Amino acid sequence: MINNNKELYLSFRNKIFEVLDAPEIVNMSREQLEQQLHSALSVLTKNYRHTVPTMVRNTLVKNLVDELTGLGPLQPLIEDDTITDIMVNGCSQIYYERLGKIHRSELVFINEQQLFEIAQRIASRVGRRVDESSPMVDARLEDGSRVNIVINPIAIDGTTISIRKFRQQKISFEDLVKYDSLSMSMARVLMIAARCRLNIVIAGGTGSGKTTLLNALSNYIGQDERIITIEDAAELRLQQPHVVRLETRPESVESTGKVTQRDLVINSLRMRPDRIIVGECRGSEAFEMLQAMNTGHDGSMTTLHANSPRDAIARIESMVMMANLNQPLYAIRRGIVSAIHLIVQVNRQRDGSRKIVSIAEVMGLEGDNVVLEELFRFVSREGNQQEKVVGEFTSPGIMQRSILMKRAAYYGLQDELAVAFRGI
């Protein structure tokens, strides 16, 4: 709600909430609830010290309905399709991201208690909890938006909510080319890589567009393939008919029943998958993911946090070590180079745009070092003072010993691949 109406809203809210029957609200439609609240406000405003205009009354009713059935003050931001991220830092600070830029909203919560109650509602709707014994939680909204909640005392200045909104309309490679996130040649090469069942890792920072790119890549998986998706909070939306979606589960109040991504990856190998897609690799499940890629589940994909393809290799090494298998580093690197074929690096630029800045092929080992061959790179113009980042997507071409070239020939796509590189 807007700060100016805060006192007025709080005054009527408390009186209405005292007489509301919670079980009845669950069974009401939005229209019925609005009618009930309009009637209640009509009675209350007769005895109010100031006249309450109809427009203000309508706003109060909408705010009450949003709080009772939605996300309270956040509801207008949730309904705005141009907003991609919502960030709540306590009850009086709400920020949102639009077109890559962060703005502060005029909306506020009436107090910390209202914010905390909405945070609890978000968690409970997906069978999770947030309280003193479990002060951090990952959840999702009904539309698939991803939510992270941290409460006091972990969040010192009050309950913190971060929402990554789910796009109802999937972004395709054509859209990404239009947004100048990559060139058409790069898009064609990635389409071919997905169709040729290459194992692909998408690396980047938070909010760089990793999941968006993963969703776009998934469009080129065959309709006859069985796909298992594994996520902390389910947000992938694959269009294929044969998809099994698995989601992790936190431990219960009794400290039992926890299901991790590693558990799900291990179990997925028993489910006869053609491809395994891990929404984000962040721990020891990386070892099982490499094993899956190495044992007949070609075409598997995942994302991870890293600043470059070289950093992505180092991050995978660290995550495999977390599995406590006491493997020597050389053995881990051998597993990586035999499992992963492509690393796609996505970065968020200073102007808020997202670009694929590198597509690198994992060629093998040279001594103890992993050899990467860059197929494409984004080169920004040096000394550019413009607000918008400008540059060119370049490529040195493809090497004869490329696994992409061999796979393209096997699947009869070598001519398409050659055309893609000629169109740079």
pLDDT digits (tens, 9 = 90+) for 210-245: 988 999 999 999 999 999 999 887 778 888 899 999
Q: Which of 220, 130, 120, 212 is nearest to 166 (CA)?
A: 212
- Left (φ > 0), alpha (ψ -120 to 50) or beta: where does 299 sit? left
Identify the three-state secondary structure at position 216. helix
Cα separation values, 155 from 20, 149, 289, Å: 32, 9, 33
Q: What is the pLDDT of residue 409?
A: 93
Query: Which amino acid makes up residue 72?
Result: G
Q: What is the pLDDT of residues 330-371, one digit of tens each?
A: 999 999 999 999 999 999 988 888 999 999 999 999 988 999
Q: What is the pLDDT of residue 38?
A: 75
Q: Is 173-422 CATH 3.40.50.300? A: yes
Instruction: Provide the Cα torsion 116, 122, 128, 131; round to 10°.
Output: 0
User: For residues 163 and 168, what is the distance between their CA atoms, to the nearest angstrom?
Assistant: 15
Residue spans per domain, the chain: 1-66, 70-167, 173-422
Residues of the chain with pLDDT under 50: 2
Q: What is the pLDDT of residue 20?
A: 66
Query: At which residue do the structure tokens 């968020």 appear?
Result: 348
Query: Which amino acid makes up residue 209?
Result: G
Q: What is the pLDDT of residue 267?
A: 92
What is the sign of the dihedral through the CA atoms of 321, 323, 326 and 328? negative
Q: What is the pLDDT of residue 377?
A: 95
The pTM for the full model equals 0.80
Measured in degrees and rounded to the nearest 5, phi and psi for residue 101 equal -115, 140
For residue 153, cis peptide bond before it (omega within 30 degrees of 0): yes
- Collect all residues with Cβ–Cβ distance below 8 Å to 107 and sequence separation of at least 6: 1, 2, 73, 74, 76, 77, 94
Q: Which CATH class is domain 70-167?
A: alpha beta
Q: What is the pLDDT of residue 228?
A: 94
User: For residues 195 and 223, what is the distance between their CA atoms, to the nearest angstrom?
Assistant: 11
Q: DSSP label at 339?
A: H
Q: What is the pLDDT of residue 191?
A: 95
Q: What is the pLDDT of residue 292?
A: 86
Q: Which of 341, 347, 379, 378 is nearest to 360 (CA)?
A: 341
Q: What is the pLDDT of residue 67?
A: 76
User: For residues 135 and 249, what is the distance between their CA atoms, to the nearest angstrom?
Assistant: 15
Q: What is the pLDDT of residue 386?
A: 66
User: For residues 247 and 253, what is the distance between their CA atoms, to the nearest angstrom?
Assistant: 19
Cα separation values, 370 from 42, 279, 309, 335, 367, Å: 72, 24, 11, 11, 8
Q: DSSP label at 274?
A: S
Q: Is residue 319 within 8 Å of 284, Cβ to Cβ?
A: yes
At 7, list the tokens.
Answer: 């006192």
Q: Is residue 306 within 8 Å of 340, Cβ to Cβ?
A: no
Q: What is the pLDDT of residue 60?
A: 77
User: For residues 392 and 287, what is the distance between their CA atoms, to the nearest angstrom?
Assistant: 36
% of the chain residues with pLDDT over 90: 43
